[in-house]
């Protein structure tokens, strides 16, 4: 037999735990979890399907290969296969399972990802969809994923409802429909074939080894997970239910409505009482509260409290938590394929509510101990209090602390560095406040935070956040400029002032616009501001200073709504469907800056790898640290500039805490 170099594989599995709600780690931990079918191919050969339900065994050489780091394992979304096989091996072949960690680290229950490769990551790296069916369709593969798959999975892979017709059973087995089972085996085989076809189609554009190294670090962080204070989680859910019931009862007393939660009924009641509202969205209700009569204000405030969805995060925690009290699998590597940044999964750490309570620890202690009466007495808005406490449910393991460190104004620094906007670089060099400096540059007066012309800082901040990537009046409004006190007539002059004070950034936008168009038209490589652009085989590639590439599928020169030239490419658009997307210079610059910021975060995570990184949120890293480790030490390492970013100024700040919070 030829030497085994790589395996392509796909699993069909059963569990009574909901995979979508709970994630693969919790899913595979269920005592009822099992592997039904194991489809595999060795070295690109014919696909074999092992029917474990009907008593077939996975060949010994394959069992050996699963724990042999010299044999590459390929799958589409390989995290699923790796975690499931980790659990299955421990239960069925414990003598062959080997972990990649020390006992003290909570990654110990999983196979090392170092030998695993993921064709979904490869698809994402090439700007393709993150689904097997989607990638296969876009690539126009001969073999496509079977459309019957969803029905077959629903039939065999999840519990079924007991009925008279099915004899009261809670699970469908092969003997209940052999025709379907045989089709399911073919489906499993086809998935391996499609996955292999994707590899074959993309082989001209391999994922660089250093990106696979990043993927392995990502998997390590997902395997490690982050601990949850389950008492806080359970009590928060109970408190929310009790509070919402009390609020609904109060609302009913005030309005006499059958269902005060009904948008239709509430709008009608408000209209009957002299307040016409087109929407009961958060912004609209908050605006109405300011001017509504007193008798309506109370109802609107109750409406605000009832609409807070604080409990959903706690429920996601409860769903995702594993047997050891840790939540795992919260980060999707290359989830955003325009930049290569992570996407959140399960609990979604990327959009947690902020905390501004001065007595955060006290409030948390009351929830942890289950003291609802005290919470009700001390805090007027229980849903808001619970919302602010969400972060605090994340805790370090016993005897450890959290060190939270993040980059200061990372995107602003990268944009200034790329564009060569010297005055901004000087601000960063001197440790100044970019929002004050921007306002000062725009309005030609000194601006100090909490000092001279301090009121202008907010305008500088809004301008910085909204205008760096070609945004105009609409972007300012979307950032909440009007709600923050700016007048409509101020917005356009603000845009003009920002652009006038940042001529090199504006020039960078249009230089990128020009070279992208030239690259597509002439099919020749271009370069500007240390960024390379290549067009080949129906793809546009943007090569970042790190060596990583951004890929745009089937780029073309089209016409925009103003009759000018625009660039279009294929990708997942705002509709979440594969479609043609329009872009231009500033938008490409946004992709580039966010991608480089992501690469800098990844470089920092590599330098901090000897510590236990449990999570990362935007430009922030959360470390589960021993008491001896200092914040200064972590921030110093984090601020190291990558060798490919000479001249870039980085700064990281941090703090330590006994539970996760915003400093």
Q: Mean pLDDT throughout 145-174?
A: 90
Tokens of 490: 């101020």
Check pLDDT > 60 for residue 77.
yes
Strand order in the sheet with 539-543: 526-528, 531-536, 539-543, 549-559, 565-572, 578-583
Which residues touch 79 (CB under 8 Å, ≥6 apart)?
A: 24, 113, 118, 219, 222, 329
> Residue 543's beta-bridge partner residues?
532, 549
**Average pLDDT of the chain?**
91
Q: Contact at 8 Å (CB) between 128 and 135? A: yes
What are the φ and ψ backbone dihedral angles of 466, each rounded to 5 degrees? -100, -25
Among candidate residues 549, 137, 138, 577, the one with its CA nearest the CA of residue 338: 549
pLDDT at 1: 53
H or E segment and range at residue 286 = helix 282-291
pLDDT tens track for 378-415: 998 888 899 999 999 999 999 999 999 999 889 999 99
pLDDT tens track for 133-154: 888 888 888 777 778 889 999 9
Q: How many CB atoms lie within 10 A of CB 272?
A: 9
pLDDT tens track for 341-386: 999 999 999 889 888 889 999 999 999 999 999 999 999 888 889 9
Which residues touch 24 (CB under 8 Å, ≥6 apart)?
A: 79, 80, 83, 84, 329
Q: Is 282 or 550 the better-scoring residue by pLDDT?
A: 550
Q: Mean pLDDT throughout 266-295?
A: 81
DSSP calls for 313-332: HHHHHHHHB-TTSEE---EE
Q: Mean pLDDT throughout 466-471?
A: 90
Q: Mean pLDDT throughout 514-536?
A: 94
Rounded to whole angstroms, the Cα distance separating 457 from 411 reads 18
Check pLDDT > 80 for residue 104.
no
H or E segment and range at residue 615 = strand 612-617
Rounded to whole angstroms, the Cα distance separating 487 from 469 reads 22
Q: Mean pLDDT throughout 222-233?
A: 96
Q: How many CB atoms lie within 10 A of CB 393?
A: 27
Q: Mean pLDDT throughout 456-481?
A: 86
Report the first-to-last Cα separation within the chain, whole angstroms: 60
Q: Contact at 8 Å (CB) between 614 and 653? A: no
pLDDT at 466: 85
Which residues touch 1 (CB under 8 Å, ≥6 apart)?
A: 61
Check pLDDT > 90 for residue 419.
yes
DSSP code of residue 205 = S
Q: Is 102 or 150 the better-scoring residue by pLDDT?
A: 150
Rounded to whole angstroms, the Cα distance separating 570 from 277 reads 39
pLDDT at 509: 96
pLDDT at 328: 96
Radius of gyration of the chain (CA): 27
pLDDT at 268: 83
Q: How confident is the model at residue 561 (pLDDT cuts 50, 70, 90)?
A: confident
What's the Cα-to-Cα distance from 349 to each of 223, 314, 337, 410, 593, rounded to whole Å?
Answer: 16, 12, 19, 19, 22
- Name the CA dihedral angle for 113, 114, 115, 119, rounded to a multiple of 10 degrees: 70
Q: Three-class SS of residue 460?
A: helix
State the number of CA atoms in the 13 A half-sphere of 186 facing the CB: 11
- Length of the chain (residues): 663
Tokens of 340: 């290569």
pLDDT at 516: 96
Check pLDDT > 80 for residue 157.
yes
Q: Mean pLDDT throughout 588-610?
A: 96
Instruction: List % helix, strand, coil for the chain (3-state, nearest 5).
Output: 50, 15, 35
Check pLDDT > 70 for residue 25.
yes
> Residue 536's beta-bridge partner residues?
539
Check pLDDT > 90 for residue 98.
no
pLDDT tens track for 214-223: 999 999 999 9
pLDDT at 452: 84
What are the φ and ψ backbone dihedral angles of 406, each rounded to 5 degrees? -140, 160
Tokens of 325: 């009290």
Rounded to whole angstroms, the Cα distance separating 579 from 575 reads 9
């Amino acid at each position: 037999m030829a030497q085994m170099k790589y395996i392509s594989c796909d699993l069909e599995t059963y569990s009574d735990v909901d995979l979508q709600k709970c994630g693969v780690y919790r899913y595979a931990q269920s005592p009822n979890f099992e592997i039904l079918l194991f489809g595999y191919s060795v070295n690109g050969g014919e696909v074999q399907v092992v029917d474990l339900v009907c008593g077939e065994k996975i060949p010994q050489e394959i069992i050996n290969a699963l724990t042999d780091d010299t044999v590459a394992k390929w799958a589409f979304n390989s995290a699923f296969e790796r975690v499931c096989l980790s659990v299955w091996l421990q239960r069925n072949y414990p003598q062959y399972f080997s972990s990649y960690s020390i006992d003290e680290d909570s990654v110990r229950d999983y196979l090392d990802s170092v030998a695993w490769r993921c064709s979904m990551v490869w698809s994402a790296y090439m700007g393709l969809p993150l689904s097997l069916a989607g990638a296969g369709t876009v690539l126009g593969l001969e073999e496509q994923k079977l459309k019957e798959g969803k029905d077959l999975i629903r039939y065999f892979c999840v519990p079924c409802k007991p009925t008279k017709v099915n004899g009261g059973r809670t699970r469908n087995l092969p003997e209940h429909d052999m025709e379907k089972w045989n089709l399911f085996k073919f489906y499993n085989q086809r998935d391996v074939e499609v996955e292999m076809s994707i590899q074959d189609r993309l082989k001209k554009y391999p994922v660089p080894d250093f990106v696979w190294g990043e993927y392995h670090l990502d998997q390590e962080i997902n395997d490690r997970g982050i601990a949850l204070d389950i008492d806080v989680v359970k009590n928060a859910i109970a408190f929310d239910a009790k509070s919402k019931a009390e609020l609904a009862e109060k609302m009913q007393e005030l309005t006499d409505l059958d269902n005060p939660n009904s948008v239709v009924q509430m709008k009608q009641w408000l209209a009957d009482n002299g307040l016409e509202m087109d929407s009961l969205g958060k912004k609209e209700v908050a605006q109405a509260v300011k001017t509504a009569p007193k008798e309506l204000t109370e109802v609107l405030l109750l409406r605000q409290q009832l609409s807070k969805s604080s409990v959903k995060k706690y429920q996601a925690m409860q769903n995702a938590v594993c047997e050891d009290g840790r939540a795992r699998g919260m980060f999707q590597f290359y989830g955003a394929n325009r930049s290569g940044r992570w996407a959140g999964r399960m609990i979604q750490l990327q959009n947690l509510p902020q905390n501004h309570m001065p007595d955060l620890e006290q409030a948390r202690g009351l929830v942890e101990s289950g003291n609802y009466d005290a919470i009700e007495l001390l805090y007027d808005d229980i849903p808001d209090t619970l919302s602010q406490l969400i972060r605090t449910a994340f805790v370090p393991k016993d005897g450890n602390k959290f060190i939270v460190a993040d980059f200061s104004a990372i995107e602003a620094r990268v944009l200034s560095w790329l564009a060569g906007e010297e005055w901004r670089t000087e601000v960063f060099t001197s440790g100044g406040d970019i929002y004050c400096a921007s306002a000062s540059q725009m309005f030609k007066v000194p601006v100090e935070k909490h000092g001279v012309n301090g009121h202008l800082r907010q305008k500088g901040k809004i301008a910085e956040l909204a205008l760096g990537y070609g945004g105009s009046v609409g972007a300012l409004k979307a950032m909440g400029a009007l709600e923050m006190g700016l007048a409509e007539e101020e917005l356009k002059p603000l845009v003009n002032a920002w652009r006038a004070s940042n001529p090199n950034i504006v020039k960078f936008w249009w230089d990128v616009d020009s070279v992208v168009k030239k690259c597509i038209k002439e099919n020749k490589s271009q370069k500007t501001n240390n960024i390379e652009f290549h067009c080949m085989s129906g793809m546009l590639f943007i090569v970042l200073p790190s060596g990583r590439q951004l890929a745009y599928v089937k780029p073309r020169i089209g016409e925009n709504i103003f009759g000018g030239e625009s660039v279009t490419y294929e990708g997942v658009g705002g509709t979440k469907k594969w479609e043609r997307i329009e872009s231009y210079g500033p938008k490409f610059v946004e992709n580039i800056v966010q991608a480089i910021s992501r690469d800098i975060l990844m470089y920092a995570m590599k330098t901090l790898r000897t510590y236990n990184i449990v999570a990362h949120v935007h430009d922030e890293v959360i470390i589960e640290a021993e008491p001896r480790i200092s914040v200064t030490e972590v921030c110093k390492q984090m601020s190291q500039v990558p060798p490919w970013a000479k001249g870039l100024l980085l700064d990281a700040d941090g703090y330590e805490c006994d539970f996760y919070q915003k400093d």
